[in-house]
Amino acid sequence: MPEYEELQKRLGYTFRDPHLLQLALTHPSVAHEQGAPAQTNQRLEFLGDAVLQVVLTRELYEKFPTFEEGPLTKARAKLVNRRTLAEHGRDIGLGACLILSHGEETHGGRERPSALADAFEALLGALFLDGGFDVAEAIILARFRGAFGGLSAIPILENPKGELQEWLQSVSSEAPDYQVVSVSGPDHDRVFECTVRHRDNELARGCGKSKKEAESQAALAALTKLRKEKEPGPAEAAPPK
């Protein structure tokens, strides 16, 4: 099919076993419509999810040597959420290639985010089976590096204040202390500046349109500073042989 040829061009990979590609694009609704057992992409989705997790976990582990399990897990979760996977599926034109039941087709299944996300994972499973781990890894990293800047920046944390408290609890039972040090701007456009201190030492400052946002920015700045301080120096990172 022309759609399959275009999809393979966008991936930069041609399947040796076209049946695997077809299976990856077969929506479960096909089996329900036929009323008889039929192969769909659900098993490949299961496999592709595991391959994706392994590839991104290793990439995060190597890119962020100072991150502990919690931040690494949250960073990975941001990379593999269903909305993001659906966007990747949409970017490579999976919707036009899906094999759907008549009912699913009628109800807009080709653009349904869940169908696109599932098919994207199934496609990764098919790539793994057809070309091996190296092929799947190369395609995954090519897709995700574009969206996340090569994973070269510290992932945005959902709860920087909580992460900072967890970090500091490893060295002290004392909690971080946040204080608003200034408020500027007119009433309708206030800017708050906040400090975060620990053991009477100022760790960082942050600004925001609310006290809560300023505290979060201060916590994020403190985390960035603490992690950089923990990174090994040149002599430690590469000891002489």
Active site residue 189: no
Give the full edge-to-edge strand order of the sheet including 191-198.
177-184, 191-198, 201-208
Task: Select which of 3, 33, 49, 87 is catalytic.
Answer: 49
Triad 61, 72, 87: Cα angle to 5°: 100
| DSSP β-bridge partners for residue 182 | 193
* Cα–Cα distance, 123 to 57 (Å, whole number): 19
Task: Select which of 59, 121, 130, 215 is catalytic.
Answer: 121
Alpha carbon separation from 155 to 77, 88, 89, 214, 239 (Å, rounded): 11, 19, 23, 18, 29
Active site residue 5: no
Tokens describing residue 116: 């696109």
Q: So which residues are the catalytic ones?
A: 49, 121
